[in-house]
Amino acid sequence: DYFSSVVSPRLVPLILRKTTKMPFITDNYIYHAVKMVSSKKRNSAAGYAIIQIPVSEACPRFVQLPSFGGRNCIIFLDDIIRLCLNDIFFMFNYDEISAYTFKIARDAQLTLDDDISKSLLEKIEDGIENRLHGQPIRLVYDQNMPVDLLEIIKSKLRLRNIDSMEASGRYHLKRDLMRFPKIRPELEAVSPPSLTHPDIKPFSSVLGVIHKKDIFLNYPYHTFNHFIDFLREAAIDPKVESIYITLYRTAGHSKVVNTLINAAKNGKKVYALLELFARFDEEQNVESSESLQKGGVKVIHGVEGLKVHSKLVLVQRKENSVLKGYVYVGTGNFNEDTARVYSDFGLFTSHVQIVQDARAVFDFLLNPHKRFVCKQLLVSPYYLRGKFEEMIDREIRNAQKGKRAFIYAKFNSLTDDKMINHLYEASKKGVEIRLIVRGACCLQPQQKGLSDNIQVISIVDKYLEHARLTIFCNGGDNQVHIMSADWMTRNLDRRVEVGIPILDSKIRKTLKRFFEVQWSDNVKARDLSVFTQNNYVVTLDERVCRSQVELYDFYKNMKKNDEN
């Protein structure tokens, strides 16, 4: 019997009474709130309890039932417990027992104490531990939960604000669906293998290729191994003198971290700007920081008052008695795990002015009191907002002159009031604006007299759309940038972010094609013109376009054509 042998030994029912405190509730689990009543005794008080649903490898959320008639059936662990409530509470004299799922979220703000005797790493470690016991700030519960049971839970958790509570469905923590049993492998979607870039040959110098031309990568269509190989080559190349890198989120057992340590052991000067306050990755970053420092890497823990979110690398190599620079600017983290499922951009270049700009950025990060000027890189919080405002203003002027004017952009989120109002102004002046925004979008498109010329779609598919891109018409001489920043106030004003112009005409053409393909998506794209509805895009085009599939084929054909 599965319940008695596997589930029951892991259950710890906790009885709720008005006079007792709520047992500690963890926000990484789901719970059943249980109500027990006796229909035979009219005036008897109801009983209440909570049960943590004990999900683990030994007791999975989804249980495969014996197959019959060629059918495979799966049951939620939640429902197994519901079906066995009478067995769990057999000692009580109740004849009606029901269970309703709920979960909580605790305040995840990382608070550091003021103890000057502790290092920053020690304070963060203490803060991570304290965060596990933060105040409950949100309750998500089964909408069918009885009012009296809900009131008891709300009271015990000290939740008074109605905005902190959300009525939901029968099942919560849907992320567990990522571990759904593989009962029909033939029905699973298998992602195609990542492609190698046509200009980067196996077991050949990546630096040598970048010396000749800019290289654009679009993960996960392109392999992240090219970036790892770039660092590995720099780590052992006797002519490389120094490596500078910003780190925000790294993988567990990170190849990037290991390569930087190897570079330091090989006598390179290695500087890692590691952001300890990467939300929910603080613990991983503390471990990475300790490993890097033990390995001889000079680690700098960010800039006071600013979060370093940029994705920037500078490798300096002595060539013919001159220090030659190689730069990488990306939109996503240096994380080989997420690079397999996040759609991001990366650009390698040895452009002289961009190298000088990268040196200036790292000089600022190492010496935050210094001011700096960049001629090509867009760096927040100092220059990025202003540069984009100038580009929007230029499109407005061109539209007023009767010239073609457009702004095409792709973000994770668009929430900054000033940038949104600037886009509204551009729309009213006749600038065509197309936006692809996966997450939060506070701009309202297709509003008469305000945003008639603005269209917004969102694409959610098997890869997380994480890249940031802007394309400005610029009178026909298109300006294209990729960057680590969304158009959010925190990114523009309170973080160190880096954007880079695409100077290579072929890569500009590739990115414009990328945007065209995504804008043509009529399978996974949603139209954000009707507030809160997010309906799938409906087009007159009979050709089916699932952009992530189309893009893989696009890069595959590009590789084939270049090789031929």
CATH number of the domain bearing residue 223:
3.30.870.10
The residue among 354, 305, 326, 333 whose CA lies nearest residue 246 is 333
Torsions phi, psi for 375 (to 5 deg): -100, -25
Q: How many CB atoms neighbour CB 12 within 10 A?
A: 10
Cβ–Cβ under 8 Å, residues 338 and 332: yes
How far, in Å, CA of 245 to CA of 239, rounded?
A: 18
How far, in Å, CA of 438 to CA of 410, rounded?
A: 8
Mean residue pLDDT of the chain comes to: 89
Torsions phi, psi for 5 (to 5 deg): -90, -30
CATH number of the domain bearing residue 153:
3.30.1840.10
Cβ–Cβ under 8 Å, residues 193 and 219: no
- Is residue 183 located within the same domain as residue 294? no
Residue 200 lies in a domain: no
Q: What tens digit of pLDDT does each residue of 387-435 get? A: 999 999 999 999 999 999 999 999 999 999 999 999 999 999 999 999 9
Cβ–Cβ under 8 Å, residues 217 and 190: no
Lowest mean pLDDT among 109-123, 352-366, 435-449: 109-123
Binning pLDDT at 50, 70 and 90, where does residue 118 land?
A: low
Greatest mean pLDDT among 2-6, 20-24, 285-289, 367-371: 2-6
- Is residue 139 located within the same domain as residue 222? no
Number of independent structural domains in the chain: 3
Strand partners, 52: 31
How far, in Å, CA of 179 to CA of 136, rounded?
A: 27
The residue among 312, 347, 342 whose CA lies nearest residue 219 is 342
Residue 437: the pLDDT is 96
**Over 70: is that where the pLDDT of 142 sits?**
yes
- Is residue 372 located within the same domain as residue 445? no
Distance from the Cα of residue 49 to its chain's centroid: 37
Range of the domain at 554: 380-563
Structure tokens at 345: 């951009």
Spatial neighbors of 495 by CB under 8 A, at least 6 apart, are: 306, 307, 308, 309, 310, 380, 381, 485
Structure tokens at 197: 């870039």
Buried b (16+ CB within 10 A) or exposed e, 386-421: ebbeebbebbbebbeeeeebbbbbbbbbbbbeebbe
Strand partners, 106: 136
Binning pLDDT at 50, 70 and 90, where does residue 126 land?
A: low
- Is residue 397 located within the same domain as residue 454? yes
Q: How many CB atoms neighbour CB 114 within 10 A?
A: 6
CA dist list (Å): 437 to 196, 236, 467, 478: 28, 41, 10, 21
- Is residue 538 located within the same domain as residue 442? yes
- Is residue 145 located within the same domain as residue 265? no
Question: What is the chain's length?
Answer: 564
- Is residue 118 located within the same domain as residue 236? no
Lowest mean pLDDT among 290-304, 344-358, 407-421, 445-459: 290-304
Cβ–Cβ under 8 Å, residues 526 and 162: no
- Is residue 212 located within the same domain as residue 157? no
- Residues 310-328, mean pLDDT to the nearest whole number: 96
Residue 201 lies in a domain: no
- Is residue 348 located within the same domain as residue 389? no
- Is residue 22 located within the same domain as residue 156? yes
Structure tokens at 408: 């095409």
DSSP 8-state assignment for residue 6? I
Query: Angle, to 10 degrees, between the axis of helix 384-400 and the axis of helix 417-428?
Result: 10
- Is residue 316 located within the same domain as residue 463? no
Q: Catalytic residues, which ones?
A: 309
